[in-house]
Amino acid sequence: MNKTLSRRAFAGGAGAALFSVITSRKGFSAPAQDQRVAVHATAEIGTISPLLHGSFAEHLGSCVYGGLWVGKDSSVPNVEGFRKQAVDWLKELGIPVLRWPGGCFADDYHWRDGIGPADKRPKTVNIHWGNYTEDNSFGTHEFIRLCRLIGAEPYLAGNVGSGTPQELRDWVEYCNYPSGSTLSDERAANGSPEPFNVRYWGVGNENWGCGGNMTPEYYADLYRRFRTYVRDFGGTRPFMIACGPNRNDVNWTRRFFDALSARGGPGLYPHGWAMHFYSNGRDVPTKFTVENMREQLSSFAELENAIVVQRGLLDSYVRAQTAPGRPRPQVHLLVDEWGVWDRMVPEEEKTYGRLWMQSTMRSAVAAGMGLNVFHRQADKLYMCNIAQTVNVLHSVILAHRNNCVRTSSYYAFLLQKPHRSKTALRVETNDTSPLGISVSASRKDNELVLTFCNPKHDVEMRVDCALVGASAVSAKAQLLSHPDYNACNTFENPNVIVPKDHPVSVEGSRVRLNLPPISMSTAIVRLA
């Protein structure tokens, strides 16, 4: 949460009303509103792990087949079968971690279907996403290769819903055992003598829903059983991620940990607890009403609250399980799937595949607000993955046949990239309502990064940002903005929404810039 601004932060600043609504200024059609922000340069929250900028690719619609993977014989320019343009852009974005193969798909996926000679792999029906058949030409080796090409850490989601503990255990051995076992030799024979060293392993996905419609107690039993057989097969200690709640479902979390604690205790606690939080929208992406946009963007306050509440719950279980004098077990919180989920356009789904969704200026601001939340809660989070990477839902790239475009949300991630590995700082704003200015700040040495999002469609924000405990020497900024919040980048017009240099001024401990309606900006400030 943005903290409400204290008077002290602005001592010496205008002590006048926090809001001063000013009528139209030259060059802007929207009225301007003064926004006071304070960044506490020495109030450190924690390191912003790059993993908070992760991504998720499911066998769904054209995310993998036709999107990331076009096949080696395709007329689409490709590297070893991967769409070259997507590889280049994902590399530029530097996605730190990529989750695969689902989603709902994960609990109906059997990894052995996706290894060995491609022409011998079975054809399977994707029951969750339209009953289409896939030839399994994209399997474990292809996924790992894609991760290596784009520089992402692989995260494999195991099958609990329709799989067995042995299947998951064997997948881990196949990926991670160096050599000499039948499974590791099979991996070598399939072209990868070196172990994949996969660290992140999901134990099912949404097992309260598409992953088996389980009760938390039943899932806890299964989690404990699957977990028992997954081992460190040679140097890479698996980081086990259990299926967490839908949004802030405290009932799922409590009942899972109550059941798990009743038998097995902290030794079997998961390393990660994966919450899913979508920001649903009532309109199709390019036809949002103001009211529905406001409702969707307001959900980021709920996301932030969910993070705080779920982290608190995890802490209470961990505390209760810590024996005197023993180290505390750690259960990290993940937001495993997040992003906007708008209404689909049936014709677009027919042409481009299930859950194909455009990304507009509104979606970019949503991405910016989500990342601001994660930065402000950097001490409570381990990993967050946007859903999804290409074509599906809140994607950063759209691709179809020979066309490929970076969405507005791609640029929102790019603008947030400078925060990675810096230390998040406490921020305060004068307006802490869900649609008030959204801010995150981070620092490393004398570089300060500030990201501001204006979620309001009808107000230009004049930002006066006080640096408490630091003073600025210089600053440069970039802006992502468009007068029409329903505007988007298309295959025909790919550069409708792209970052542009933006004026920012510094004066002692003050940084000032303007934010047009529905926009986001990142300023890099050099400190004295």
Q: Tell me the catalytic residues.
A: 206, 337
Residue 266 binds to ligand AHR (criterion: CB under 6 A):
no
* Measured CA distances, 400 to 342, 351, 356 (Å): 20, 9, 11
Tell which positions 318-337 bind ligand AHR, by CB under 6 A.
337
* Measured CA distances, 520 to 33, 430, 480, 511, 514 (Å): 16, 18, 5, 16, 10
| Six-digit token string for 345 | 């356009």
Residue 142 binds to ligand AHR (criterion: CB under 6 A):
no
Is residue 205 within 8 A of residue 237, CB to CB? The reply is no
Is residue 35 within 8 A of residue 431, CB to CB? The reply is yes
- HSE-CB for 346 with a 13 A CA cutoff: 0
Residue 279 binds to ligand AHR (criterion: CB under 6 A):
no
Beta carbon of residue 128, minimum distance to ligand AHR (angstroms, whole number): 7
295: number of Cβ within 10 Å: 17
Beta carbon of residue 337, minimum distance to ligand AHR (angstroms, whole number): 6
Nearer to ligand AHR, 170 or 337 (CB): 337
Angle made by CA atoms 93, 99, 240, in degrees to the nearest 5? 130
Nearer to ligand AHR, 125 or 320 (CB): 125
Nearer to ligand AHR, 28 or 341 (CB): 341
Closest CA to 504 of 471, 465, 467, 457: 465
- Interface residue with ligand AHR, options 10, 30, 51, 58 (CB under 6 A): 58
Tell which positions 348-387 bind ligand AHR, by CB under 6 A.
387
Amino acid at site 497 = I
Nearer to ligand AHR, 39 or 98 (CB): 98
Residue 463 binds to ligand AHR (criterion: CB under 6 A):
no
Angle between helices 290-321 and 361-376 (to 10 degrees): 20
Beta carbon of residue 211, minimum distance to ligand AHR (angstroms, whole number): 8
Nearer to ligand AHR, 107 or 173 (CB): 107
Judge if the upstream peptide bond of residue 85 is cis by omega within 30 degrees of 0.
no
Angle made by CA atoms 135, 137, 140, in degrees to the nearest 5? 125
Span near ligand AHR by CB under 6 A; candidates 3-11, 100-108, 171-179, 237-245:
100-108
Strands 32-47 vs 460-468: parallel, antiparallel or unpaired: parallel
Spell out the residues 6+ positions from residue 262 whose beta carbon is closer than 8 angstroms to its own: none
Nearer to ligand AHR, 249 or 484 (CB): 249
- Interface residue with ligand AHR, options 45, 104, 243, 390 (CB under 6 A): 104
Measured distance CA(100)–CA(483) in Å, rounded: 36
479: number of Cβ within 10 Å: 21
Strands 438-444 vs 447-454: parallel, antiparallel or unpaired: antiparallel
Nearer to ligand AHR, 177 or 200 (CB): 200
Beta carbon of residue 266, minimum distance to ligand AHR (angstroms, whole number): 27
String marking each residue 382-401 x if it binds ligand AHR according to CB under 6 A: -----xx----x--------
- Interface residue with ligand AHR, options 54, 102, 195, 266 (CB under 6 A): 102
Measured distance CA(214)–CA(11) in Å, rounded: 55
Measured distance CA(453)–CA(268) in Å, rounded: 41
Nearer to ligand AHR, 101 or 499 (CB): 101
Span near ligand AHR by CB under 6 A; candidates 97-105, 164-172, 324-332, 396-404:
97-105
Beta carbon of residue 392, minimum distance to ligand AHR (angstroms, whole number): 7
> Cβ-closest residue to ligand AHR?
103
- Interface residue with ligand AHR, options 49, 205, 207, 407 (CB under 6 A): 205
- Interface residue with ligand AHR, options 142, 153, 173, 206 (CB under 6 A): 206
Beta carbon of residue 106, minimum distance to ligand AHR (angstroms, whole number): 8
Residue 67 binds to ligand AHR (criterion: CB under 6 A):
no
Residue 108 binds to ligand AHR (criterion: CB under 6 A):
no
Interacting residues with ligand AHR (CB under 6 A): 58, 102-104, 205-206, 337, 387-388, 393
